[in-house]
Chains A and B, each alone.
Chain A
Amino acid sequence: MTDHSNPSMRSALGRAKGLGSSRSGVSHWWMQRLTAMGMVPLVLYCLIGFLCFADASEAAARSWIAQPFNSVALILLLGTGFYHAALGLQVVIEDYISIESRKILMLAFMKMMMTAFAVFSIYSVLLITLTNGA
């Protein structure tokens, strides 16, 4: 039975899955919004915290980060932040780099960099927290 009222080229299975031409549906868009919403309180909290030790002395910075609630907030911010950054930079690369091979290489390089940034920074926060006073 053919439904002539819907002249779509999409197969019934494709329509049911609802993943579209991106093959991933709205997950990129949705994760960008979720991480954005999560980061609003985290950025505000950490920014105000950092402004409170604006003298940036080593002891003051370490003791702020080493407080449990602060280190958890900072780790959450770094995790969601670099994920959000990778999603955003992905769109920019896809928009402006039209040569397919170059686009794929830049996407891979960017995602590796963002992952490395996240691991380096979260590891540093853990080191500061767990070695505090040691």
Chain B
Amino acid sequence: MTAKRPLSPHLMIYRPQLTSMMSITHRLTGVALGLGSLFFVWWLVALAHGGAYYDLIRSIAEHALGRLVLLGFFVAVSYHLANGIRHLFWDFGIGLSLQGVYRGGYVVLFVAAIATIGGAYLLFFA
């Protein structure tokens, strides 16, 4: 029998901070990319197969829902890449002050926002 005790460190009563939210978003986008890469594998297999099968995959990708998934994938790549570079800077001991952590966080959010706008333009309005 498992007792229903609150989990340490009581995540639910913490006020959300930029640092913690960006940390869990890095993990979420990582998981999404790892599992979502199935679509990229599928696309490559279809491209190698060619012909009618590729046309089928292409028509799925060009559907509004398919484009939405592509946009999500693109935004996740951009965020995880930018925040990953932020993590690499930390590994070299750069930007580890409270001010540096927030400054880098805003840069990453800016990059992700630009990628979202650019990706949405390319996928839905270009």
Contact = CB atoms under 8 A, between A and B. Distances in A.
Nearest to A29: B91
Interface residues of B, number: 29
B101 interface: no
A3 interface: no
B47 A124 contact: yes
B48 A124 contact: yes
Contact of B31 (A54, A58, A62, A92): A92
Interface of A: 33, 36-37, 40, 43-44, 47, 51, 54, 56, 58, 61-62, 65, 81-82, 85-86, 88-89, 92, 114, 117, 120-121, 123-125, 127-128
8 contacts: A33-B91, A37-B88, A65-B47, A81-B37, A82-B37, A120-B41, A120-B45, A121-B41
Given A120-B44, A121-B40, 13 more contacts: A37-B88, A40-B85, A44-B81, A47-B77, A56-B58, A62-B50, A88-B27, A89-B30, A120-B41, A124-B41, A124-B47, A128-B47, A128-B48
Interface of B: 27, 30-31, 33-34, 37-38, 40-41, 44-45, 47-48, 50-51, 54-55, 58, 61-62, 77, 81, 84-85, 87-88, 91, 122, 126
